[in-house]
Structure 1
Amino acid sequence: MGIEWLKPGVFFGSLLYALLGVLVFWVCFVVIDKLTPYRLWDEIVEKQNVALAIVVGAMCIAIGLIVAAAVGG
């Protein structure tokens, strides 16, 4: 493998895909937050709803896997 990943094209391509993945993940989270009848962040942080935090964590892992598979090919 060597230092192929240090080439500017490879490095900035990886950085671009990482930022694209984070952007897609954030948009998906906002859409799901808007679809629920309450605000997820307020429910988890202020009301300390542990069950909802577990569900949202699982959802975040699932969306992250989907985005990673889509970006990685």
Structure 2
Amino acid sequence: MDIFLNTIMNLGLSLLFGAVGILVLVVGYKIFDAIIPADFNKELEKGNVAVAIFLAGALIGIAIIVSQVVK
């Protein structure tokens, strides 16, 4: 019974930390979009690969920071 409860608790914590991580990524994107004067959504819709690579790098950086904080 203890194994079952521990498994359920760990699953719940994993889902919670995952949701927090995704929320922080979205907030980080919004902050990036507010600070930098370019309109990222328009540029991405136009197919601007440089903006896509820039945003990917920024989101990976934020994800690395969040993963270390969650540990």
Q: Same fold (TM over 0.5)?
A: yes
Give distance in 2, aligned partners of 1:55 and 1:38. Answer: 12
**Matched pairs, number:** 68
Query: What amino acid is the match of 1:7?
Result: T
Q: After the TM superposition, which segments of 4 or more aligned residues of structure 1 sit over 2 Å from their partners?
A: none
Aligned equivalent of 1:70: 69
Secondary structure of the residue aligned to 1:37 is coil
Bigger helix share: 2
Identity %: 32
Question: TM-score if structure 1 supplies the norm length?
Answer: 0.81
Structure 2: give runs of 5+ residues left out of the alignment: none
Structure 1 position 66, deviation (Å): 0.8
Higher RCO (C-alpha under 8 Å, 6+ residues apart): 2
Give distance in 1, aligned partners of 2:27 and 2:58. Answer: 13
Aligned equivalent of 2:53: 54
Structure 1: give runs of 5+ residues left out of the alignment: none
Instruction: Write the mapping of 1:1-73 to structure 2, written as runs, cut at 5 A.
Output: 7-45=7-45, 47-72=46-71
Structure 1 position 38, deviation (Å): 2.3
